[in-house]
Amino acid sequence: MKISTKGRYALRMLVDLAEHRSEGYIALKDIAERQNISKKYLEQIMPMLNKSDLLKANRGYQGGYMLAKEPDQYTVGEILRMTEGSLAPVACTEQSPIDCARSADCPTLPVWQGLYRVINEYLDGITLQDILDSQRERAADNYMI
């Protein structure tokens, strides 16, 4: 499994919105500038996130985007599944029940099922707030006089 640029940038964009949520609606150009991501690329990702009710949008002079919920309500897993589709390491783990003629005799199926479970548990256990907290902690650790 490899996370695409789309998934990585969507996560960075949502972390940026979480970090600046006290500023109200944030213009896409500001996110693009801070994250060093093309505004055009973010414009391609935005409809996917907007459609899922993760964001609030406001058009016009003070327009932009903001999170629809608090940062601790967004998991990395849900964001990546929205942008990447399934996070399954192999196709057979995406289906329930498994639709594979070899599943009853497949010696490696438990390996892939275990990996899929670990991936989902790990990514669903991290919220945008966790990322912000970790970022603040790293910044505090790097403080020098």
Which fold, 5-141?
Arc Repressor Mutant, subunit A (1.10.10)
pLDDT tens, position by position, 14-25: 999 999 999 999
Residue 100, pLDDT above cutoff 90:
no
Q: What is the mean pLDDT of residues 96-113?
A: 81
The residue extents of the domains of the chain are 5-141
pLDDT at 134: 92
Residue 2, pLDDT above cutoff 70:
yes
pLDDT tens, position by position, 30-45: 999 999 999 999 999 9
Cross-strand bridge partners of residue 55: 67
Question: To the nearest whole percent, how much of the chain has pLDDT over 70?
Answer: 97
The residue with tokens 């994250």 is 35
Residue 145, pLDDT above cutoff 70:
no
Sequence-ordered list of residues with C-beta below 8 angstroms from that of 58, at least 6 positions apart, any chain: 25, 64, 65, 66
